Structure 1
Amino acid sequence: MTDYDVLRVFCAPNGGYGNELGVVREGSVLPDRQDRQDLAAKLGFGETVFVDDPERGVVDVYTPTARLPFADHSCVGVAWLLDVPELVTPAGTLGTRLDGEFNWIEARAEWAPPCTFRQYASAAEVDDLAVPAPGGETAADLPLGESRGTLYAWAWEDEPAGRIRARGFPARGDGVDEDEATGAAALLLTERLGRALNITQGAGSQILTAPQPFGWVELGGRVFLER
């Protein structure tokens, strides 16, 4: 079996919650894309990263069903693990930094996949949402011409402070009913609102964002090594 590390990204202050991430530090052991896809499917993480050059930060990311040009929590996690100033992805080169307990990447919102946003009046309404049932409403068949992709339900917890409560329901068909932490949606929402955000998603994950000049957005969170 190929060796890999398991990280948890966008964790709560106590290290809980967040998204699990698989990282194959020696990507050269599986140079073929189909072999990488097969391993990502076998491991079953939301995303698996193959490191092709640890010094330059060259990475290749897969879900269980597809290769991704850019992946939010993967980049936050692997940047922390490699401790490099930038990452090179198929989408482009992005800067990274560590600031206290948070690891940050700087990415562009257009690199994120489509997302459908639904704003609610209160955090309690978001908490009470049911996971869409199989065959029920998903982000892929919403009315009124809304975008395909993750259905991102959100509400202000404290608007002046930029605090948001959110939940994400993917429509990618790989068996994930609810995403615990969706950095890509956080990028898009930050661009839409034009302000820094402190997002609590899922059962307790924390995602931080900050808009930057020239269309860049910083995305940050805590990273812990599980094994």
Structure 2
Amino acid sequence: MTTAPQPAAAPLPLPPHDVLAVFCGGDGRHGNPLGVVRDGRTCRGEEARRAVAARLGFSETVFVDDPERGIVDIHTPTVRLPFAGHPLVGAAWLLDLEVVNPPAGEVWARHDGEFTWIEARAEWAPPRTLRQYASAEEVEGLDVPPPGVGLYAWAWSDEAAGRVRARAFPGRGDGIEEDEATGAAALLLTARLGRALNITQGRGSQLLTAPGPDGLIELGGRVRPLSR
């Protein structure tokens, strides 16, 4: 006797979460979307968290496991990250934290009204190819490369002023072809160039960086809520 196929189980409801735009431009637009699950107890385990990140469809989603101590867990749709810039800036802004603790280590945060800043180390950033181009126009005209090693394409738009035009291609093959704003790559570029940068990435997101003492780099940007 042939057994009739069973209907697929409906996906579990998404846990309560906030959606933010991190590293917005000066006009408040753009920024990289971020999902923040404030109560990590509602979604336990790496597999479950990756599934939530995949359903939300953002480059990263952050799960807050202890809001008092700032303990957070960052996931892309396919991998867990020990560090990522825009999730930490976003979580620090949303929860008004002075310290955020991803797996990579302790990250201090501060808020100056318009910008939220974190202090981090470039060596915490995932590997990425930094490729300089001759002009901002050349960067803007790039096609999305095939999946592979992540590419951060950049060019000076005003070298004397430290202004950079950039685009970021994660290359993970998880459906995120281009990141609107990438804090980890900004740290790597700042460490390579050894100077403060004002980076315009994607459609118009803005990231600010400044080298500090003992290998620390400040990374800052604007954050705004998108939904809840």
TM-score (norm 2): 0.90
The Cα of 1:169 is off from its aligned counterpart by 1.4
The answer to whether residue 84 in structure 2 is matched with residue 104 in structure 1 is: no
Structure 2: unaligned runs, 5 residues or longer: 1-12
* Matched residue SS, 2:185: helix
- The CA distance in 2 between the partners of 1:62 and 1:56, in whole Å, is 19
- The CA distance in 2 between the partners of 1:130 and 1:27, in whole Å, is 37
Which residue in the other structure is 1:74 paired with?
Answer: 87
Paired residues for 1:122-201 under 5 Å:
122-132=135-145, 134=146, 140=148, 149-201=149-201
Which residue in the other structure is 2:68 paired with?
Answer: 55
- The CA distance in 1 between the partners of 2:50 and 2:152, in whole Å, is 27
Which residue in the other structure is 1:145 paired with?
Answer: none
Which residue in the other structure is 1:11 paired with?
Answer: 24
- The CA distance in 1 between the partners of 2:59 and 2:140, in whole Å, is 22
- The CA distance in 1 between the partners of 2:73 and 2:174, in whole Å, is 19
After superposition, the C-alpha distances for 1:54-83 in whole angstroms (9 at most, x for unaligned) are 111110111111111111100010000010
After superposition, the C-alpha distances for 1:175-210 in whole angstroms (9 at most, x for unaligned) are 112111111110000000000000001110100001
Identity of aligned residues (%): 66
- The CA distance in 1 between the partners of 2:45 and 2:128, in whole Å, is 30
Which residue in the other structure is 1:117 paired with?
Answer: 130
- The CA distance in 2 between the partners of 1:170 and 1:36, in whole Å, is 20
Which residue in the other structure is 1:30 paired with?
Answer: 43
After superposition, the C-alpha distances for 1:83-114 in whole angstroms (9 at most, x for unaligned) are 01100111101100012311111011000011
The answer to whether residue 63 in structure 2 is matched with residue 42 in structure 1 is: no
172-181 or 103-112: bigger deviation: 172-181
What letter matches 2:124 in structure 1? Answer: W
| Superposition CA RMSD, Å | 1.2
* Matched residue SS, 1:92: coil
* Matched residue SS, 1:154: strand
After superposition, the C-alpha distances for 1:14-65 in whole angstroms (9 at most, x for unaligned) are 2211110000111112222222222112221111111111111110111111
- The CA distance in 2 between the partners of 1:184 and 1:156, in whole Å, is 19
33-42 or 151-160: bigger deviation: 33-42
Structure 1: unaligned runs, 5 residues or longer: 141-148
- The CA distance in 1 between the partners of 2:125 and 2:204, in whole Å, is 22
Which residue in the other structure is 1:202 paired with?
Answer: 202
- The CA distance in 2 between the partners of 1:60 and 1:11, in whole Å, is 23
After TM superposition, which residue ranges in structure 1, 4 or more long, deviate above 4 angstroms?
A: none
Equivalent pairs counted in the alignment come to: 214
What letter matches 1:82 in structure 2? Answer: L
What letter matches 2:165 in structure 1? Answer: R
The Cα of 1:170 is off from its aligned counterpart by 1.6
- The CA distance in 1 between the partners of 2:136 and 2:52, in whole Å, is 38
TM-score (norm 1): 0.91
The Cα of 1:168 is off from its aligned counterpart by 1.1
* Matched residue SS, 2:199: strand
